[in-house]
Structure 1
Amino acid sequence: MLELLAVARHGSLSGAAEAIGVSQPALSQSIAVLEHGLGVRVLDRDRHGARLTEFGKTLVFHAQALESLLDRAKVDTRLRSLGVEGLLALGITPITAVGLVPIALESLLRDTPNVSVSVVEDLDDKILSMLRARELDLVISRLGVGPDYPDVETEPLLLADWSLILRSEHPLASLSSVSLKDLDGVKWVLPAGGSAFRRQLENMFATAGIGWPTQGDQYQLDPGHQGNRHELGLRDHHVATTGGSRAGNWTHQHGCADRCRSAASRRSDVAGE
């Protein structure tokens, strides 16, 4: 399976053979044995290279998970040799990185000092994909948007409220509360697609029967810098939202919505694989 994965990555038997350090005839023989055992063709070969069949694509998906599992096994073995009991691979989003995760990790490492933690910060869609591919053990994300995967177990952690961020000179800053209707026609700083935060905003507008902002500017925020959204919200008369902590040089209109943050892990792992 890993040899088939190499062919998929390099697009040819010759390129894959060179990459993994075997001869092309030996690689071809291994693929032939795999196809014979499965009873299906996994590769279509021609003078332009090798292309995965639909069966091959399915197999490559599982091969990627197998590769991740083997890589994790190597890391766990190395850590055990150093006296560390295990590795927790954790996926987080920019918002959860602000307050929740550091506190949780401090408590975890205090109670289990021999555990090593690897943290990956990215958008919700990315870390969930890594979880399903066994590249992560656990992700902290928003709950209630996106598909429900049968192989993912979720556990609600807390309700996180939203705030509206705007300049203190903004026309809406003097209001004691702001409704979605008040925001019609206002320029927004919007999170890019691929995050549960963006989908929740879209759902919130749709539920209220209000059109999605047409004057919004979309920014691909740096996952490592939650403050970007705050800074962009201070430009001109833009407004932005946040589910994170609140602080000082801007105005917040509090309580736009409540959304649940959750921990997600692979269902087979929860059941005790």
Structure 2
Amino acid sequence: MELWYTEKQTENFGITAKIRETLVTEKTDFQDLAMIDTVEWGRMLVLDGMVMTTVKDEFVYHEMVAHPALNTHPNPKHVLVVGGGDGGVIREVLKHPQVEKAVLVEIDGKVIEYSKKFLPEIAGELDNPRVEVIVNDGYMHIHDHKNTYDVIMVDSTEPVGPAVNLFTQGFYKGIFDALKEDGIFVAQTDNPWFKADLIQTVNRDVKEIFPIVRVYCANIPTYPSGLWTFTMGCKKYDPLQVDETKIEEIDTKYYTPRLHKAAFALPKFVEDLTK
């Protein structure tokens, strides 16, 4: 007998993967959590029926959350990651030696616990001495830490359940206040095939707060449609003005200095969403 996991990404479309083993299922205080081992993608974290990360393709998402912003800011010493309890973004942030402290604020401690147990290649840096892990509400942490961070990264689920507040203009205004005078923020903003309205709304809201707003894309096979967007808001520095010849090569599998600006070259239908 074969076992298959299916994520219903819309009412009419989904993806499916053959399962070797279900490692854990639990209804936490915030969401339904599952860790499964798939034949094609390896171990997979699923929250509320949505694929969050897999061992095989996780590097794309985590690298593209972290490196464009950190290579745009000239001196990112203090970095905040909201969400991201699997630890992948933290792992990438720590590849930048100028980062003195990286703070992870994850609302669901079970995500951290099971990621450490089943996804050690992703969560392996969560115990690094440069990292502070806080199990709390990221929305409230932002509110309580004004003028604190050089870069803030929002590694959230889709805008359902505990992540709903992380897609509001009030949250983006709080991020602006929590950043220093030359700070940068970046958030994952879903896909343009099924969530065009979300991308338009986020882009409009962020533009009302940040003077420089850029959208970029990456290919993530296990995310809905495979084409994923990220939105960056900057107080001072423009990612398109970065001299790519001065970006230091680091250990990556997707992001490169040449890709830094190329990722901001959007397909026309995506570009139209940002106008």
TM-score category (smaller protein): under 0.3
Considering fraction of residues, name the structure with more helix.
1
Say which one has the larger Rg.
1
Higher relative contact order, chain-length normalized (CA < 8 Å, sep 6+) = 1
TM-score by length of 2: 0.25
Structure with the bigger percentage of strand = 2
